[in-house]
Each structure stands twice: as structure tokens, then as C-alpha cells.
Amino acid sequence: MPTNQVPAHVAASPADHRRLGRELKLFTTEPMVGAGLPLWLPDGAVIRAELERLAAEEAVRGGCQRVFTPVLAKRELFERSGHWDKFSEDMFPPMKVGEEEFVLRPANCPHHALVYASEQRSFRDLPVRLAELGSMFRSELSGVLGGLSRVRQINLDDTHVFCAPEQVRGEIRRGVESVRRCYELLGISVTRYRLSRRGGGDGYLGATGLWADAERQLAAALTELGIDYEDAPGEAAFYGPKIDVQVTDPAGREETLSTVQLDFNQPERFGLGFIGSDGARHRPVMIHRGVLSAMERIVAFLIEQYEGAFPPWLAPVQVLVLPVGDDHAERALAVADQLRASGLRAGCDPADATLGARIRRAVKVPYVAVIGDREVASGLVALRLRDGRQISGVGLPQLISEISQQVSARSIKLGDIG
């Protein structure tokens, strides 16, 4: 029995991603797996895979190198990073194997710090930007887990930049610019940028002087970008201050999607270094960057933003072919095959219900190609676009080339066809 049954008061919003996620068969959760551990169904997996591809392309075009690192490590890695001391309440308890204790990582940074440390670095190599779609685990309280926006296995579009102190501002700007580029593509509007600073208490690593400098650098980078921001004392990570990019869901709830964080502490704790132009050893600064953020959180957000009607490049089914009756099934299947062979995600919904009912069922699909007597005879299709436009007599080569263009441009609009 799926547990993403939505309480009535929450389900009232037609855009609630838990409701749409179930109706559109994007994801589910199962008690035997546990809360906050969603199962991505095939159509949800398509959306996530497309976003992962965007994340990887954006990282590589921004000069990042991709790495793969394990989701767990010995407890001592997290003692070294400071997570054990400052973040263990959010971590799953250690697992004993023989005499060793392993921990599911609550963040990807310690592994990336060790990738950086795996070779001698010179000032000429910097910045080193390491990117991974990394899985990390946090024992979030079960009461706060709902659908995809807060989960216990977080699959994060994560980058750690290791740079010289004088490169920090430029790298922060690059991080924020990368977020802006992706948001423009996805049509996401930012509610506010938040400068999340250190608060009181002993929940933080490192000297307060370094923190003040780090907070100034983040503020300066935002100012250079012409971005207004809100001060948020007490919202920093334990290792450093951050720029949090806040968005609001259709129900009016604000949450952090992307983040760019400055960290003087982990480089110190891992003894990271680079040889400067003076021949001496220097300490790099670490910038943590989650551009698309957690795959779970961004997909939850986009499901609600688009109300399940995704742009063609994200739509699980891009073109649905509908035979008017059984006589048209053979041609409809052949058209769907041809669309798939051209790299489009196409399906065929057989004539088990009236054409009208099947068209209504396909309300979220960007393009519907109807095949009746006339289309079988002409070899063309009658096209219905999700936005209501109808175009008769469209040739397959034209259809394929125009939809493919929309898809490869990752365009939000359905474009002009015919």
C-alpha cells in the first residue's frame, strides 16, 4: 500500500506534488522501504535523468571535473571533517564491520576533499572544481518527510571548488551565475537570496574572524552581481556561511533550493594545500555549490510549478500517438516507432476508449498525434498541442525535426509547428 496518500487538507492544492506524483506515476513510497526514501517510477526517472544530464552539462561547461565517490566511509573521515562533532544528530548511526565502523555520509564534501588531496596541487592547477551527483544520507525526523521535498537519501547536484583566496569572489559569482542560468532555463523565479550567517552557540567550527571575512566575501560577490539579499543570522552551515537561493511553492511555502557556501574549515581539517607562485605551501579555500540542488527537491518543485505539464525536454512522454479506431492501430504503432527511432519519447494509446476520452487523458502530454482514415491515406498526422493548437496534415519528418529542436534547446514553449 503506497504511503504517499495525501492528507485531505494538503491535497486541496491541485499542484501538490505528492498528489500529482501519484496520479502521474512519477514516484511512490513504501512502508517496507521507509519514509523519506522514495521509489522513482519510470516516468519520474525520465525527469530526473534529464535534470541530471543538465546538471552534468552545466558543471562541465563551467570547468568542473566529474568524480564518483562512495556513499559511505569510516567514521574517522567524518571525525576529521567535523561532521561527527557538529552534525551527528542528523547522521544515521554507524555500522560495524569487523573492528571498523562505517558511516553513511551526510555530505559529499569530505570525500571530495580527499580527491583534491590525492595529488600535489600547484597554484597553476587552481581552481579545482569537482562535481558529482552524489548521494548523501540524513536522518531527518519522520514527521517532516513528505513526498520528495525532504528525504533521507538526498541525491545532490554537488560541486566542491578548491581555490586560492584571491579566486574566492570570482568562484562565488560563477556559482550564482550557474544557478541563474539553470533557473532561466527551467523558468524558476527566485523569491530571495539569503545570506546565511553564523549565529550564537557552539554549533560552528573555526574562529569568528575567519567567519566575518567569509561573510563579507559572500556579500561582496552578491553586490558585484547586483543581487539584493536578506541577512539570515543562524542559518549558516556548521563549517561556513552560505548564499541560499530561496524559492516558494504554489502553496506559499518558502524553501532553499540552490546554495553556494564558503568554507575555510574543512581545508584546514584535511590539511589541504597547494604550492604558490612563491614556492611555499598555501591553504586553498573550499566552495560548496549545489546548483540544481537535490534531485528530489527540484523535481518536487518542478512538478508543482508546471502542474505536471512539463516542457517537452522533461516530459516523460513527448508525443502520444492516438489511433482513432482499431483500423488505424497499425499505422499509429509505426508512427510511434519512427518517433522513438528518432530519439523522441513516444507512446501509443490504443483505441480502448473514445478519442475524446484519450485526448483528455493525455492532457499533460506536449504533443498528441491523431491518426484516422485521412492520416492513414496521406501518411501525415493531425497534431494537437497541449496549449490547444491543432494542426492538420503534418508530415513526420517535419514533426520530428521541430520537436527535436525544441527538446535540444530545452525550450519551455511548445514552439511553432507547421
Contact set with ligand TSB (CB under 6 A): 107, 109, 138, 140, 150-151, 154, 156, 158, 160, 256-257, 259, 261, 288-290, 293-294, 296-297
* Per-residue binding letters, 230-249, with Zn ion (x by CB under 5 A): --------------------
* Shortest Cβ 346–ligand TSB spacing (Å): 32
- Contacted by 178, from ligand TSB, Zn ion, none: CB < 5 to 8 Å by type: none
Task: Please identify which residue in 73, 91, 109, 319 interacts with Zn ion, judged by CB under 5 A.
Answer: 109
Specify whether the backbone of 382 is left (phi greater than 0), alpha (psi in -120 to 50) or beta.
beta
Q: Considering the complex, state which of residue 286 and residue 365 has its C-beta at the smaller distance from Zn ion.
A: 286
Residue 77 binds Zn ion, judged by CB under 5 A: no
Q: Which stretch binds Zn ion (CB under 5 A): 6-14, 246-254, 285-293, 362-370?
A: 285-293
- Contacted by 156, from ligand TSB, Zn ion, none: CB < 5 to 8 Å by type: ligand TSB
Q: Considering the complex, state which of residue 58 and residue 158 has its C-beta at the smaller distance from Zn ion.
A: 158
Q: Considering the complex, state which of residue 106 and residue 323 has its C-beta at the smaller distance from ligand TSB.
A: 106
Give the phi and the psi of residue 247 in degrees, each rounded to 5.
-125, 165
* Shortest Cβ 178–ligand TSB spacing (Å): 13
* Shortest Cβ 139–ligand TSB spacing (Å): 10
Give the phi and the psi of residue 280 in degrees, each rounded to 5.
-95, 165
Q: Considering the complex, state which of residue 126 and residue 151 has its C-beta at the smaller distance from ligand TSB.
A: 151
Task: Please identify which residue in 18, 19, 288, 289 interacts with Zn ion, judged by CB under 5 A.
Answer: 288
- Number of residue whose CB is nearest ligand TSB: 288
* Shortest Cβ 64–ligand TSB spacing (Å): 12
* Shortest Cβ 160–Zn ion spacing (Å): 6
Q: Considering the complex, state which of residue 106 and residue 312 has its C-beta at the smaller distance from Zn ion.
A: 106
* Shortest Cβ 254–ligand TSB spacing (Å): 12
Q: Considering the complex, state which of residue 13 and residue 149 has its C-beta at the smaller distance from ligand TSB.
A: 149
**SS3 sequence of the chain:** CCCCCCCHHHHCCCCCHHHHHHHCCCEECCCCCCCCCCEECHHHHHHHHHHHHHHHHHHHHCCCEECCCCCEEEHHHHHHHCHHHHCHHHCCCCEEECCEEEEECCCCHHHHHHHHHCCCCEHHHCCEEEEEEEEEECCCCHHHCECCCECCEEEEEEEEEEECHHHHHHHHHHHHHHHHHHHHHHCCCCCEEEEEECCCCCCCCCCHHHHHHHHHHHHHHHHHCCCCEEEEECCCECCECEEEEEEECCCCCEEEEEEEEEECHHHHHCCCCEECCCCCEECCEEEEEEEEEEHHHHHHHHHHHHCCCCCCCCCCCCEEEEECCHHHHHHHHHHHHHHHHCCCCEEECCCCCCHHHHHHHCCCCCEEEEECHHHHHHCCEEEEECCCCEEEEECHHHHHHHHHHHHHCCCCCCCCCC
Q: Considering the complex, state which of residue 29 and residue 261 has its C-beta at the smaller distance from ligand TSB.
A: 261
Q: Considering the complex, state which of residue 109 and residue 295 has its C-beta at the smaller distance from Zn ion.
A: 109
* Shortest Cβ 89–ligand TSB spacing (Å): 13
Grid cell for residue 104: 553513511
- Contacted by 294, from ligand TSB, Zn ion, none: CB < 5 to 8 Å by type: ligand TSB
Give the phi and the psi of residue 114 in degrees, each rounded to 5.
-75, -30
* Shortest Cβ 245–ligand TSB spacing (Å): 8
* Shortest Cβ 79–Zn ion spacing (Å): 17
Binding-site ranges for Zn ion (CB under 5 A): 109, 288
